[in-house]
Structure 1
């Protein structure tokens, strides 16, 4: 059978021009590469506008306003998506959204470096009318903010309706006013058997005047905890005085050798994901990727640089008697039965010679062979026919057939 249509003509060979094919290939390759890159880095490129309480969020409970304000005032803030970035002398702001968040690496690994933990306060739901916004549903149960640093540090806390009066500062700059409602730390849970000894003391920095700590230092190191996030989140940044005080507080908490402020979002689900696909686009494997891309490009250029016009493919089964004979011969050769055709070829020569030499029609078989042997020549027909029938391989058969052909040709002279 054939895979080429009967009506294929010159028009079919030029259905697509080389320029069209090249453009289609370029678009396809660019799209494929773009899909690979986006597939590798999509988790790292998420905007973070999910209504959460983190540095990428523009919701009321987020901290995007503080990040933008710090950037506008030259404080060099940066968003960290990997826990490897914790190895810095800059102030690290950690904003866990629930007690289920694992903050052990930041808690233990940065005991001598300035770190601010902001406890969660609000229970929210996404705003259906505005993408990335959130609506209050109420305050979180106290066990949620209490459990953020537990069991190593377990506070006792309180939530109540404040009058919005100024907070009392114990050495911190700026002037803050109490959020409404307010969430404060009242001390260390005395029933916590797993409390770390080095962090068993709390030093108040901002208090509400009623014995509650809004901002406290844990132990003697630069570890701080902010009980009420409304002092620094987007809700608190709507007032100029509060925003100014927030920047002064961050400067005061930061170390003397700091280059900026780091806002962690890896604990909020926006960390760099580990993917084998990303290795293709990052050193040291980037060099190998570029080498493979260059090789494929050169192979493509070579494929387009053919010599001469393309030749149309021939049919798998050609038309005509010659094609039929050729196909039949191919089948016989594939079957390995060529050597058995010697006797049949000799019989065909016998019939052709009888007609060509005018042998009497009554002669058959041996009588016809005697008649052909009686004709003058260097060889007898029966000897040549026996040699053809006795052939055992292709070479012997070819020699016997050539001898019969020459015998017939000599008789015609």
Structure 2
């Protein structure tokens, strides 16, 4: 019976062996750290494969193709996932998916800089068979794309069969921009636009907002994945981007913040990025040392400190505590002011024969942002703890300013 009991106790001890506990702690810490990292960066890890009309989408209505094409041809494209990137001098291509998208901050940030806004056109639904693909179910109501820049820029959007006939570009535009028109062709009319590419009826396909470097492309099929599947359209798309890059910047930025794919600001993420990463690592090292100390003692145990310490510091602390408990802090302003006056007399060589008022005027002549006599009066009149503290701090700053 004793042997059975002893054997059972031995097996129980092995379950809670130090190695087992250490492994559980390590696994738990790794899991906790992983959950923190995922919580901080999960919003930024969105792949954009949501079949939307943006630069991360490989759907027919997306623009991942033109991004890859621009990269392959040395145009140095990048995807903007933060509003701070709007301040770049590079051409920024914005692809809002609906007229209800708030463009106010974007337009203000891009004022005076080359900007291409592509209007939405298609109504799509996600493809059930292939992730990231879409099925086109029709076109948006014409008022939807017309509202992208409303009410600042009023445009009227129309659609009509194009028959694939060639578009008409201004004389200084590349010849490739006279590519065949998409079917159906989405165009616009507006007195606020300078026509750069038009259809055979003179309706604007690409226009420049008067008095700005903002360009509006009415038909997204000239840039999206579906549109550039043909060689002539792909060449025209690249030439179109170069043509509207009026500032001459060599880079192209495709914005996805307006599509809801921007990076989120997170205080947790700051802990894992420079310069706060060093502080995080230091905290982790300190916690590791604390954990190690909890397991293994370093040296002999220290005796507990005295409740009341020896020396001048303890005397000052005890006196301050008594004054604080008595609620008399606000009555010490005059005495502190007198102490500062005596120190100032010694430091600045104030003649001994001068009275306190004369000494205050003498110290006022030292110059500075504040007058010594005013600070002395504020400290002497202080009756509340907060007022006294503010007056004392002001006197201390005055003394530091004059002795530096």
* Alignment match of 1:291 (pick from 275, 278, 282): 282
1:258 is matched with 249
Q: Which runs of 5+ in 2 are unaligned?
A: 299-404
Which stretch shows the higher mean deviation, 94-103 or 240-249?
Answer: 240-249
SS at match of 1:225: strand
Q: CA RMSD in A?
A: 2.0
SS at match of 1:215: strand
Q: Name the CA distance, whole Å, in 2 between partners of 1:27 and 1:258.
A: 50
2:221 is matched with 230
1:185 is matched with 188
Which stretch shows the higher mean deviation, 113-122 or 13-22?
Answer: 13-22
Q: Name the CA distance, whole Å, in 1 between partners of 2:15 and 2:52.
A: 55
1:319 is matched with none
1:28 is matched with 28
Name the TM-score, length of structure 1 as normaliser.
0.67
Q: Name the CA distance, whole Å, in 1 between partners of 2:250 and 2:168.
A: 29
1:104 is matched with 104
1:248 is matched with 239
- Count residues with an aligned counterpart: 291
Deviation of 1:247 after TM superposition, in Å, equals 0.9
2:372 is matched with none
1:215 matched to 2:218? The reply is: no
SS at match of 2:284: helix
Deviation of 1:103 after TM superposition, in Å, equals 0.9
Deviation of 1:111 after TM superposition, in Å, equals 2.2
Which stretch shows the higher mean deviation, 167-176 or 211-220?
Answer: 167-176
Contact kept, 8 Å, 1:120 with 1:229, in 2: the verdict is: yes
Q: Name the CA distance, whole Å, in 2 between partners of 1:152 and 1:256.
A: 23
1:205 is matched with 196
SS at match of 1:124: strand
1:163 is matched with 163
Matches within 5 A, 1:135-154: 135-154=135-154
1:271 matched to 2:262? The reply is: yes
SS at match of 1:290: helix
Q: Name the CA distance, whole Å, in 2 between partners of 1:26 and 1:72.
A: 45
Matches within 5 A, 1:1-150: 9-150=9-150
Q: Name the CA distance, whole Å, in 2 between partners of 1:116 and 1:31.
A: 45
Q: Name the CA distance, whole Å, in 1 between partners of 2:248 and 2:217.
A: 23
SS at match of 1:25: helix
Q: Name the CA distance, whole Å, in 2 between partners of 1:17 and 1:254.
A: 68
Q: Name the CA distance, whole Å, in 2 between partners of 1:213 and 1:305.
A: 78
Contact kept, 8 Å, 1:61 with 1:235, in 2: the verdict is: yes
Q: Name the CA distance, whole Å, in 1 between partners of 2:235 and 2:162.
A: 22
Deviation of 1:218 after TM superposition, in Å, equals 0.6
SS at match of 1:14: helix
Deviation of 1:281 after TM superposition, in Å, equals 1.8
1:195-238 Cα distance to aligned partner (Å, 9 max, x none): xxxxx3x1111111111111001113211000000000001111
Q: Name the CA distance, whole Å, in 2 between partners of 1:138 and 1:97.
A: 14
Q: Name the CA distance, whole Å, in 2 between partners of 1:106 and 1:12.
A: 65
Matches within 5 A, 1:292-331: 292-305=283-296
Larger radius of gyration: 1
Q: Name the CA distance, whole Å, in 2 between partners of 1:237 and 1:89.
A: 26
Contact kept, 8 Å, 1:157 with 1:187, in 2: the verdict is: no
Q: Name the CA distance, whole Å, in 2 between partners of 1:13 and 1:296.
A: 28
